[in-house]
């Protein structure tokens, strides 16, 4: 089970019994750092997508938890989206991740 740790700005993985396995990231604005991570998705390859709310981006990590890249965008085309960011990403049936 993966969970967003808003208080410490990190992603944590736990076993089905609730035992801590690993954590990813900490507070900041650089690659691999988060400010209010609010959503997580894992695709069929084990790649991890994290919505990084206060940094206005999604970050992609490989199956080894190594930073790969970030996705950013301008929501100025939508009046309702100017103050919000998509809070989730999820894998579709073909194994690709939808943001």
The ranges assigned to domains in the chain are 2-88+92-96
pLDDT tier for residue 83 given thresholds of 50, 70 and 90: very low
Specify the pLDDT at position 7.
73
* Residues whose CB falls within 8 Å of the CB of residue 26, separated by 6 or more in sequence, listed in order: 8, 9, 10, 33, 34
With beta carbons less than 8 A apart as the criterion, state whether 20 and 11 touch. Answer: no
Specify the pLDDT at position 74.
57
Specify the pLDDT at position 32.
96
Specify the pLDDT at position 56.
87
The larger pLDDT score, comparing residue 86 to residue 62, is at 62
47/29 Cα distance (integer angstroms): 21
Compute the average pLDDT of residues 12-21: 92
Specify the pLDDT at position 53.
85
Sheet holding 37-42, edge to edge: 37-42, 48-52, 57-61, 67-71
* Residues whose CB falls within 8 Å of the CB of residue 62, separated by 6 or more in sequence, listed in order: 46, 47, 48, 68
> Which of 5-9, 13-17, 48-52, 71-75 has the lowest average pLDDT?
71-75
């Amino acid at each position: 089970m993966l969970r967003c740790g808003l208080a410490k700005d990190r992603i944590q993985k736990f076993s089905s019994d609730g035992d801590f396995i690993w954590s990813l990231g900490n507070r900041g604005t650089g690659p691999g750092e988060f400010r209010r991570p609010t959503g997580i998705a894992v695709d069929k390859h084990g790649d991890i997508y994290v919505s990084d709310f206060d940094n206005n981006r999604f970050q992609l990590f490989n199956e080894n938890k190594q930073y790969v890249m970030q996705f950013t965008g301008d929501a100025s085309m939508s009046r309702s989206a100017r103050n919000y960011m998509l809070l989730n990403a999820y894998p579709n049936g073909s194994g690709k991740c939808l943001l």
